[in-house]
């Protein structure tokens, strides 16, 4: 079966200088790819490049057999939703207004919402439990609430693929689990394909079909959760040299040796 999303020799970076080279990703429809790796490794840079917010340094990205570079903004927005929280200009917008901008690919020039658009907005807000705060100023809600509003915006866009940069970073444990459940539901019912970065390794392990491990400047490994979480690989990826994950005692001893808790 041909891949729904594919990158060929993709190099990404800034001002023409490659940061990560030769990134090869292949995803079937409905698959979930998660990127993990240390701070500053390049996860957001890859996601921004896939979302066309950064120009590729080299290579090609295909979506549904078409080159991303040959797709118009409108065509792309009807297939791909992106969630980068910091990007939106939201002065004087309620949470509902922000979610409703997800319908722009369908509303024509004046942005007037039809009944169908309003229904999609309402359903998406219900799905991630932000209906109660729909009339609040988006700039005055918590970071976790913002993350859920932005997820609702992406969902009501009815995309085939969604690109999410650390979508769970501000969510409490209940909403982290709900996020996973929403993503599972969308992939099962609608065949949604997902590419995201996560710092919560335990979430990455249970939700992903494929995991891409980014180290400083290169793709260290790509594989299934079973392949990635075997043996000592994760410790090496994050430059942790000791067996600190094997019980609380070892963890506390490791933290002590980091130097902050010396007696
Ligand atoms: N606009 C920019 N111009 C030049 N370099 C940048 C720019 N934005 C980020 N970088 C650099 O690119 C590198 C990768 O950053 P990126 O944000 O992609 O990492 P990340 O893996 O998403 O990190 P984190 O886990 O901390 O979010 C870093 O060294 C960063 O300083």
Which tens digit of pLDDT belongs to each residue from 80-123? 999 986 656 677 899 999 999 999 888 877 778 899 999 999 99
The answer to whether the CB of 159 falls within 8 A of the CB of 79 is yes
Residues 78 and 106 in one domain: yes
List of the chain residues with pLDDT < 50? none
Cα–Cα dist 165/236, whole Å: 23
pLDDT of residue 92: 84
The answer to whether the CB of 27 falls within 8 A of the CB of 6 is yes
The answer to whether the CB of 47 falls within 8 A of the CB of 39 is no
Could you give the number of structural domains in the chain? 2
The answer to whether the CB of 195 falls within 8 A of the CB of 161 is yes
Which SS3 state, helix, strand or coil, does residue 95 take?
helix
pLDDT of residue 230: 82
CATH number at residue 27: 3.40.50.300
Residues 151 and 225 in one domain: yes
The answer to whether the CB of 185 falls within 8 A of the CB of 124 is no
Residues 176 and 135 in one domain: yes
Minimal-distance CA residue to ligand 1 atom 8: 45
ipTM > 0.90, yes or no? yes
- Report the candidate in 179, 177, 115, 173 with the shortest Cα–Cα distance to residue 150: 179
Any atom of ligand 1 within 6 Å of the Cβ of 43: yes
How far lies 60's CA from each of 14, 18, 28, 35, 140, in Å? 17, 15, 17, 19, 40
Residues 220 and 246 in one domain: no
Residues 119 and 244 in one domain: no
Cα–Cα dist 68/75, whole Å: 10
pLDDT of residue 100: 94
Any atom of ligand 1 within 6 Å of the Cβ of 41: yes
pLDDT of residue 255: 75
Range of the domain at 128: 5-237
The answer to whether the CB of 121 falls within 8 A of the CB of 103 is yes
Residues 211 and 252 in one domain: no
Q: Which two tokens stand for residue 228?
A: 């990635």
Residues 104 and 185 in one domain: yes
| 25 alpha carbon – ligand 1 mean position (Å) | 20
Residues 193 and 254 in one domain: no
Q: Best substitution site from 17, 23, 35, 44 to test ligand 1's pocket, by max atoms within 8 Å of Cβ?
A: 44
Any atom of ligand 1 within 6 Å of the Cβ of 212: no
Dihedral sign computed on CA atoms, order 174, 164, 4, 71? positive
Residues 242 and 132 in one domain: no
Residues 119 and 173 in one domain: yes
Residues 163 and 247 in one domain: no
Residues 261 and 188 in one domain: no
List of residues 6+ apart from 17 with CB closer than 8 A: 57
Any atom of ligand 1 within 6 Å of the Cβ of 77: no
pLDDT of residue 112: 86
């Amino acid at each position: 079966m041909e891949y729904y999303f594919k990158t060929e020799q993709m190099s990404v970076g800034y001002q023409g200088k490659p940061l990560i080279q030769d990134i090869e990703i292949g995803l079937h429809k409905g698959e979930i790819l998660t990127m993990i790796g240390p701070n500053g490794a390049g996860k957001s840079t890859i996601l921004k490049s896939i979302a066309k917010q950064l120009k590729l340094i080299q290579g090609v990205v295909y979506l549904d057999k078409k080159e991303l570079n040959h797709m118009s903004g409108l065509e792309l927005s009807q297939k791909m939703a992106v969630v980068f929280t910091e990007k939106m200009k939201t002065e004087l917008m309620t949470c509902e207004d922000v979610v409703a901008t997800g319908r722009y690919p369908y509303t024509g020039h004046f942005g007037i919402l039809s009944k169908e658009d309003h229904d999609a907005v309402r359903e998406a807000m219900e799905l991630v439990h932000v209906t109660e705060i729909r009339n609040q100023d988006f700039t005055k809600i918590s970071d976790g609430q913002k993350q859920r509003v932005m997820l609702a915006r992406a969902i009501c866009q009815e995309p085939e693929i969604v690109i999410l940069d650390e979508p769970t970073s501000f969510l409490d444990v209940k909403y982290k689990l709900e996020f996973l459940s929403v993503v599972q539901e969308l992939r099962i019912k609608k065949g949604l394909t997902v590419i995201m970065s996560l710092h919560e390794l335990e979430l990455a392990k249970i939700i992903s079909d494929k995991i891409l491990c980014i180290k400083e400047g290169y793709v260290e490994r790509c594989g299934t959760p079973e392949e990635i979480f075997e043996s000592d690989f994760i410790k090496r990826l994050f430059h942790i040299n000791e067996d600190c994950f094997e019980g609380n005692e070892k963890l506390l001893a490791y933290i002590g040796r980091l130097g902050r808790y010396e007696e």
